[in-house]
Amino acid sequence: MPELPETETIARDLDGAVRGAVVARTSVARADVLRDVTARRFETATRGARIDAVWRRAKSVVLDLDSGDRLVVTPRFTGALLIEPGGRPAEHAEGAPGEPSADYTCLAFDLVDGRRLRYRDVRRLGTVALMAPARFAAWNAALGPEPLDPALTPERFSGIVRASSRAVKTLLMEQRRLAGIGNIYANEALWRAGIRPARRGRSVTRAECGRLLGALRDVLAESIALRGTSFRDYRDAFGERGGFVRRLAVYGRAGAPCLRCGATLRGHHALEGRATVYCPSCQR
């Protein structure tokens, strides 16, 4: 599932590529990815709109429209926002209404300049929401602070972690507490900080919290620089793979030697059913 570095990469790509572009036509092939809006309303509301900016919030890509509405795209497991030169006629790309498209396109924006921005999703677990200002404000307010935001001080981060008795890895992944962190980077940051994932938040010292925040920021920044982590589905806005997979120290490496101390890495699914990998020797 695309996390902060992957959605940040997509948002930056699209902001550079489509900021100021105008939508000539919108076509919806699979309305089940839409939230709180019909396909007809979505097509009407976005046709003729100018894209003023594209940015990221948590694990979502946000497109600001000149109408004041925002498109919030959450790719989840197999979703992708792709910008393509020379858009094709919608009827050739999507097929009959309600039928799956040959290329898994769920919706597409044909731009005035001839390009096409499309949302592709093989499993259709991602979502696309059209939010008026009040709806967007409520959605945004329900999310926690961004880990890369300087306003998230070590003291504030420590308060988030130490206020709960839940496992620290689980806390890092709760979007209402901290936005954008998922399973990959929670595992990696905890390994870098030397903290065992199952430790209770309130047991983590303030000094350890400071170390963990630094590790989070470092691993996120490094992944963004390498355009995210691709295992199978994630692609950037131009259809390319991310390169951070070669830097992973623990995620996907259960049974391999720890890169820091050489002990055998352990893996389990005891925390929220997600794959957890850690070093039993140097993570305490």
Distance CA 171, CA 248 (A): 21
Closest C-alpha to 189, from 159, 165, 216 = 216
Is residue 150 within 8 A of residue 115, CB to CB? The reply is: no
Considering the candidates 2, 5, 147, 197, report the single residue annotated as catalytic: 2
CB atoms within 10 A of CB 228: 26
Tokens coding 66: 């000149």
Whether residue 43 lies in the annotated active site = no
Distance CA 197, CA 251 (A): 12
Considering the candidates 3, 6, 146, 208, report the single residue annotated as catalytic: 3
Residue with tokens 């572009």, as numbered in its chain: 21
- What value does the CA radius of gyration of the chain take, rounded to a whole number of Å? 20
Whether residue 19 lies in the annotated active site = no
Q: Enter the DSSP assignment of 267.
A: E
Considering the candidates 30, 56, 57, 59, report the single residue annotated as catalytic: 59
Tokens coding 192: 């870098």
Whether residue 150 lies in the annotated active site = no
Sign of CA dihedral 36, 11, 136, 25: negative
Distance CA 83, CA 213 (A): 34
Whether residue 272 lies in the annotated active site = no
Considering the candidates 88, 166, 260, 274, report the single residue annotated as catalytic: 274
| Residues present in the chain in total | 284
Q: Which positions are catalytic?
A: 2-3, 59, 274
